[in-house]
Amino acid sequence: MTDCFSVSDCDIIGFDLDHTLCQYKLRESNKLIYDSFAQYLVAEKGYSEELLSVAPEEWDFCSKGLVLDLEKGNFLKLGADGTILRACHGTKTMSAEQIEEAYGEKREWKHFKAINGTYARSAKYYFYDNYFDLPGALLCAKIVDTLETKTDGEKTFDFWKDMISAIEHNYKTSAFKENCGTYFPAVKRDPSKYLKPCPESVKNWIRSLKNAGKVLLLITSSHSDYCRLLCEHIIGKDFEEMFDIIITNALKPGFFSLTPQQRPFWTLENDVEIDALPSLKKSGWYSQGNWIQLYDHLKTLTGKPEPKVVYFGDSMRSDIFSVRRYSNWEAVLVLEELEGDEVHEPDVTDLGSSLKKKGKYDSLQHQEPYFVSNKWGSYFADTLTDLKGAQETPIITWCCASIMNYSTIAIPSIKAIVDLPLDYKFTRFSSNNSDTDGYYPQPPKVLLLQKKEGAAA
C-alpha cells in the first residue's frame, strides 16, 4: 500500500447518503429527531412531560463519540486505551472523584475490549457516532435525570427498551409510506426546512467522475422512498442518471459483515421488496444485499479481476470500520467536526505556491451550533484530571484513534475536495505517516498542539 491515495486510481466510487451526500440543517433536524422520540415516550410509554421541552443551552450536551453505559446511566468519553476522560450521569457532569468511585482508580470501562475493534452493539451500552444519534443521547440523559428524582427504592435505568420502541416507531421500513410517527411526515411536508441542497460543485464533480469512466454507487441504509425524496430534493429529478447502482435499506454494517446467504439482494417494485436474488446481473436499484455479491458484479462491470473501490461515509461503525474490516475497499470519512473551531487555519504560505487549498476556509466556516461541545470538549483529544486537580499530558480519544486506524483519509465534506484534480494525491493515514497527515485540508488544532508539545518535551 502506498502512502498516498488518489480518487483517479479507483475504478468505483461509492457514497453513503445521509450526512455524506445529503447534508442536514442540524438545528432543525436535531429538534425534529428529539421530538419524534420524546413525543412517543410521553404519549405511549408514560414518561414525564418534562422531556418535551429542551432549553437552547441543553443542546451543548450533544457530542459524537460518546458511549452510554446503560447499567449505570452514565455517558462516557473514552481515551484510545478505554480510559474514561470525562463522564456525565444523565446531563450532570461527574467529578474525577465520582468517576473513580464508579469505575475504579484507573478509570477503566469494563466493556471497552468488547467494543474496541468490533463496534458491536450490546444491551449494556450504546455508541453514539452520527448526527442522527445525538438527539437521542440528549433525550436519554434527560430521562436519567428524571429517574434520579424518584425517591422510592433503588434506581434502575431500564429505559432502553422504550427508546428502541421509539426508534422503531419512527423509522420502521413502512413508516414513510404510512406517514407514521413524527419524523417522516415532517420531512415530507417541508424538505427545505431540514435539508441543504447539494452544491452545484459537488454535482459537477460526480458527473466528472462518471465522464472519467468511474462506476458510481449509492449505498444507504435509508429505505428507497426516503432515499428518493432526499435525492430529488438535494440533487434533482435526474439523480438516478448519476449512479450506476443504487442500494437502499442496506442495513449497514450488515451490508459489509454478513454473507450473501444472510443478506441477499432484493428487487424493488413501488418501494416494496419483491424477489431475493442469487446474484446481481445488471445495474439499477436494489434493496438490502451484501458487499461480496456487489463486488462480483463490479468485476463484471469493470472487466477487472480486482477493481479498486472507495466508499465515502460519515459513520465510523456503519461505514468506515465495516468497510475496512470486512472488504478490500478504501474508506473516506466525512467528518463535520473538521470544520470550524476544531481546525487549524494555515497562513497562505503554508499552502505552497500552487495554493490548491486556498479558498476552502471561506466555504467551510463553522455555521452549525453543535460541532464542538463545551461540556465534552474536543472530539479528538482531551486531558485527564486526577483527584488533586493536576492535568496530565493530552491524550487522543478512542474516536480519534479509530479514525487513524480505519480511515484512508478524513475530510469535512465532499465539497472540500471537488475543486481538486481527480489525480490529487492525498496523504493517507498509515503507520508510515504522521498521525495528522490523513486529515484534509487541515488536521484538528488540538492534535497539532499535542504534536508540538510532544516534540518539545
For residue 39, give Cα distances in angstroms to 31, 52, 139, 170, 190: 12, 7, 11, 11, 20
* Selected catalytic residue, list 18, 225, 271, 382: 18
Mind giving me the DSSP string for 239-271? GGGG-SEEEES--TTHHHHS-TTTS-EEEEETT
CA distance 381 to 85: 9
State yes or no: is 158 an active-site residue: no
Eight-class DSSP state of 154: S
State yes or no: is 18 an active-site residue: yes
- Sequence-distant (6+) residues with CB within 8 A of 152 are none
Q: Which residues of 357-373 are buried (b: 16+ CB within 10 A; e: fewer)?
A: beebeeebeeebebbbb
For residue 5, give Cα distances in angstroms to 12, 167, 210, 223: 14, 38, 19, 32
β partners of residue 78: 84
CA distance 402 to 321: 8
* Selected catalytic residue, list 11, 16, 225, 271: 16
Tracing cell 503507520 back to the chain, one arrives at 431
**Per residue, what are the HEC states of 339-391?**
CHHHECCCCHHHHCCCCCCCCHHHHCCCCCCCCCECCCECCCEECCECCCCCE
CA distance 336 to 439: 12
CA distance 266 to 315: 24
Q: Which residues are catalytic?
A: 16, 18
